[in-house]
Amino acid sequence: MKFFHSTIFILAIAFFYSCQKTEAPSPVLPVPNKAQIAWNEMERNAFIHFGLNTFNDMEWGYGDSPASTFNPSSLDAEQWCKVIKDAGMKGVVLTCKHHDGFCLWPFKGTEYSVKNSPWRNGKGDLVKEVSDACKKYGLKFGVYLSPWDRNSALYGTPEYITYFREQLTDLLTNYGEVFEVWFDGANGGTGYYGGTNERRSVDRKTYYDWPTTIELVRKLQPNAMIFSDGGPDIRWCGNESGIGGRTNWSTLKRDEVWPGWPRYKELNPGHEDGNYWVPAEINTSVRPGWFYHKSEDHKVKDLPRLMDYFYESVGRNGTALLNFPVDHRGLIHEIDAANVIQWQKTIEADLANNLLKTVGNIEASNVRGNSSKFEADNVNDGDKNSYWATDDNTINASLIFEFKKPVTFNRFLAQEYIALGQRVKAFSLEIKTDEGKWKEIADETTIGYKRILRLPTVTTKVIRFAVKDAKACPTISNIELYNAPQLITSPIITRNKNGVVTINSANKELDIYYTTNGAAPTLAATKYTQPFKTNGKVEVKAIAVDPSSKNKSSVVSAKFDILHTNWVILKTNDKRSKAVIDGNPHSEWSQSAKKMPIDLTIDLGKTYPVKGFKYLPGQSRWTNGIIFNYEFYTSVNGRSWKKQQAGEFSNIQNHPVWQEKTFKATNARFVRLRAISNTKGDTKAGYAEFDILTQ
Q: For the domain that residue 375 is a member of, what is the CATH number?
A: 2.60.120.260
Picking from 317, 348, 379, the residue at the C-terminal end of a domain is: 348
Strand pairing of 318-325 and 44-49? parallel
Q: Which domain holds residue 411?
A: 355-482
**Residues contacting 615, CB < 8 A, separation 6+:** 627, 630, 649, 658, 659, 661, 673, 687, 689, 690
Which of the residues in the chain have pLDDT under 50? 1-19
The answer to whether residues 80 and 207 belong to one domain is yes
The answer to whether residues 664 and 524 belong to one domain is no
The answer to whether residues 197 and 277 belong to one domain is yes
Is-cis flag, bond preceding 547, omega within 30?
no
Picking from 324, 348, 372, the residue at the C-terminal end of a domain is: 348
**Residues contacting 530, CB < 8 A, separation 6+:** none
Distance CA 335, CA 327 (A): 11
Per the domain annotation, does 37 fall within a domain? no
Per the domain annotation, does 5 fall within a domain? no
Per the domain annotation, does 8 fall within a domain? no
Residue 532 CA from chain centroid, whole number:
33
Residue 366 CA from chain centroid, whole number:
39
The answer to whether residues 404 and 274 belong to one domain is no
Check residue 545 and give its pLDDT. Answer: 96
Angle at 132 between CA 130 and CA 134, to 5 degrees: 70
Nearest to 501 by CA among 464, 530, 481: 530
Check residue 690 and give its pLDDT. Answer: 98
The answer to whether residues 61 and 186 belong to one domain is yes
Q: What is the CATH number of the domain that holds 521?
A: 2.60.40
Distance CA 35, CA 448 (A): 16
Per the domain annotation, does 197 fall within a domain? yes
Q: What is the CATH number of the domain that holds 308?
A: 3.20.20.80
Check residue 418 and give its pLDDT. Answer: 98
Per the domain annotation, does 275 fall within a domain? yes
DSSP 621-641: TT----EEEEEEEEESSSSS-
Check residue 21 and give its pLDDT. Answer: 78
The answer to whether residues 125 and 252 belong to one domain is yes
The answer to whether residues 80 and 186 belong to one domain is yes
The answer to whether residues 573 and 686 belong to one domain is yes
Picking from 482, 502, 529, the residue at the C-terminal end of a domain is: 482
The answer to whether residues 321 and 360 belong to one domain is no
Nearest to 374 by CA among 357, 390, 394: 390
Strand pairing of 225-228 and 276-277? unpaired
Check residue 654 and give its pLDDT. Answer: 79
Per the domain annotation, does 626 fall within a domain? yes
Asked if 80 and 48 touch (Cβ cutoff 8 Å), the reply is yes
What is the chain's alpha carbon radius of gyration, rounded to the nearest angstrom?
A: 30
Asked if 333 and 287 touch (Cβ cutoff 8 Å), the reply is no
Check residue 160 and give its pLDDT. Answer: 98
Amino acid at the residue 566:
N
Distance CA 215, CA 103 (A): 23
Per the domain annotation, does 470 fall within a domain? yes
Distance CA 442, CA 453 (A): 8
The answer to whether residues 244 and 283 belong to one domain is yes
**How many structural domains does the chain have?**
4
The answer to whether residues 225 and 195 belong to one domain is yes
Asked if 542 and 512 touch (Cβ cutoff 8 Å), the reply is yes
pLDDT digits (tens, 9 = 90+) for 89-121: 999 999 999 999 999 999 999 999 999 999 999
Per the domain annotation, does 284 fall within a domain? yes
The answer to whether residues 582 and 638 belong to one domain is yes
DSSP 631-667: EEEEESSSSS-EEEEEEE-TTTTT--S-EEEEEEEEE
Nearest to 493 by CA among 455, 463, 534, 524: 534
DSSP element (H, E) containing 12: helix 2-20
Amino acid at the residue 68:
S
Check residue 20 and give its pLDDT. Answer: 53
Tell me whether residue 260 is exposed, middle or buried, using C-beta atoms within 10 angstroms of its C-beta: 0 to 12, 13 to 18, 19 or more.
buried
